[in-house]
Amino acid sequence: MQKDVFVIAHVSDLHASTFGDTFHDGARMIRRSAKPRPVDPKKYEVVWEEAGWRVFHQRGKKASAIILIDPEDYEHAIPTARKSGGVEDPVERAAKKACRVEARTARTLSKGLPSKGALEYLAESTPNNANLRLIRAARAIDPAAVDAVFITGDLTDDGDGYELVREAFRPWLERGTLFAVPGNHDLYLFPLFGSSRPRPTFETKRAGFRAFAAELGLVLEPSGLWHRYLPEPNIYLVGLDSCARTQPRFFRHNGGVGEAQLLALQEIAKRPEWTAARHRIVGLHHHVVPLPHGVGRRAPSEIGMRLDDAPRVAKVMDELRVDLVLHGHRHVSEERQPAGTRFRILASPSLTLGCRSGDGPSYWRISVSQHIRVERTYLSFAPIEDADDAVTPEIA
Ligand SMILES: [Fe+2]
Ligand SMILES: [Fe+2]
Report pLDDT digits (tens) over 325-368: 999 999 999 999 999 999 999 999 999 999 999 999 999 999 99
Residue 72 has pLDDT above 60, yes or no: yes
The whole-number pLDDT of residue 391 equals: 38
Name the percent of the chain in helix, strand, coil, to the closest 5: 25, 20, 55
Count CA atoms closer than 13 A to 139's CA, side-chain side: 16
CA distance 381 to 324: 28
Residues with beta carbon < 5 A to ion ligand 1?
Answer: 154, 183-184, 329, 396
Instruction: Starting from the CA of residue 353, give the closest ligand.
Output: 2
Could you tell me the distance, in angstroms and rounded to a whole number, from the CA of residue 329 to the centre of ligand 2? 5
Q: Which ligand is nearest to the CA of 188?
A: 1
Q: What is the pLDDT of residue 152?
A: 98
CA 354 to ligand 2 center in whole angstroms: 10
pLDDT tens digits for range 147-190: 999 999 999 999 999 999 999 999 999 999 999 999 999 999 99
How far is it, in rounded angstroms, from Cα 383 to Cα 92? Answer: 32
Tell me if 153 sits within 8 A of 375, measured CB to CB.
Answer: no
Q: How far is the CA of 91 from the centre of ligand 1 (A)?
A: 39
Give me the mean pLDDT over the 375-391 stretch: 74
200-220 pLDDT, tens per residue?
999 999 999 999 999 999 999
Peptide bond into 198 cis (omega under 30): yes
Distance 153 CA to ligand 1 centre (A): 7
In percent, the amount of the chain with pLDDT more than 90 equals 87
What number is the average pLDDT over the span 98-110?
Answer: 98
Give the Å distance between the CA of 288 and the centre of ligand 2.
15
Residue 302 CA to ligand 2 center (angstroms) comes to: 14
pLDDT band at residue 390, thresholds of 50, 70 and 90? very low
Q: Where are the domains of the chain?
A: 6-20+110-378, 28-102
Tell me what pLDDT residue 392 has. 44
Average pLDDT, rounded, for the chain: 94
**Could you tell me which residues are beta bridge partners of residue 179?**
150
Q: What is the DSSP string of 254-273?
A: -BB--HHHHHHHHHHTTSHH
pLDDT at 247 (0 to 100): 87
The values of phi and psi at residue 210, to 5°, are -60, -45
**CA 136–ligand 2 middle distance (angstroms):** 18
- Give the phi and the psi of residue 383 in degrees, each rounded to 5: -65, 165
Which ligand has an atom closest to residue 22 CA?
Answer: 2
> CB–CB of 381/350 below 8 Å?
no
pLDDT recorded at residue 192: 83
pTM: 0.95
| Separation of CA 93 and ligand 1 centre (Å) | 36
CA separation, residue 252 to residues 184, 303, 347, 348 (Å): 10, 8, 21, 22
CA of residue 343 to ligand 1 center, whole Å: 22
* Helical (H) or strand (E) element with 29: none
What is the DSSP secondary structure assignment for residue 28, as one 8-state letter? G
Distance 153 CA to ligand 2 centre (A): 7
- Residue 180 to residues 13, 124, 191, 300, 341, Cα–Cα distance (Å): 11, 30, 26, 26, 24
Distance from the alpha carbon of residue 321 to the mean position of ligand 1, in angstroms: 26
Beta strands in the chain (DSSP E): 6-11, 44-50, 53-58, 66-69, 75-76, 148-152, 178-181, 226-230, 235-239, 279-283, 324-327, 334-336, 344-347, 362-368, 372-378
Asked if residues 153 and 12 have their Cβ atoms less than 8 Å apart, the reply is yes
Residue 389 has pLDDT above 60, yes or no: no
The Cα–Cα gap between 283 and 7 comes to 16
Task: Band the pLDDT of 3: cuts 50, 70, 90.
Answer: low
- Angle at alpha carbon of residue 217, lines to 211 and 218, rounded to 5°: 80
List, as own/partner pairs, every contact residues 220-225 make where C-beta atoms lie below 8 angstroms and the sequence separation is at least 24, other chains included: 221/264, 222/260, 223/258, 223/260, 223/261, 223/263, 223/264, 224/258, 224/260, 224/261, 225/261, 225/264, 225/265
Q: Which CATH superfamily is domain 6-20+110-378 in?
A: Metallo-dependent phosphatases (3.60.21.10)
**pLDDT of 83 strictly over 90:** no
H-helix or E-strand spanning residue 310: helix 310-319
- H or E segment at 81? none
